[in-house]
Amino acid sequence: MTAKTILMQLLHKLGTFQSARRHMVCVLQLQLFEYFENNFVFSHIHSPDESQPLHFHSYLYTPGPTAEPTIRLARRSSTDEDGLALGLGLKASADPSISTLLGDLSGRLSENTLLTFE
């Protein structure tokens, strides 16, 4: 599973958790969370907030060649559905204006497809 697929799956499930006013905790290794930070827009994902429905618990796994392996909580952070969508680049604005939409659409239309009255 790719990193983007993982985040998309979280986004799809998060809506259900958010509507039920429940928290989702994603437990992962610190290296994967750092990969998310380096390859997606995670600058707005902040320290844990109980009001946020999605919590990331990043653990540092240290394999021990002679001793027992250790797992240690390295970082906790949280966000909501809009924050995760923003991190994936899916929502630049939560509510685009009609003029923005019309500008985008008219830029895609060629002169041949425009309705003209002669």
Summarised one tens digit per residue, pLDDT across range 3-30 is: 999 999 999 899 888 888 899 999 999 9
Q: What is the pLDDT of residues 36-95, one digit of tens each?
A: 999 998 888 888 888 889 999 999 998 878 888 899 999 999 998 888 888 888 865 545
Q: Give the chain's length.
A: 118
Q: What are phi and psi of 22, to 5 degrees?
A: -120, 160
How many alpha carbons lie under 13 Å from residue 91 in its C-beta half-sphere?
Answer: 13
pTM score, two decimals? 0.69
Alpha carbons 1 and 84: distance in angstroms, whole number: 18
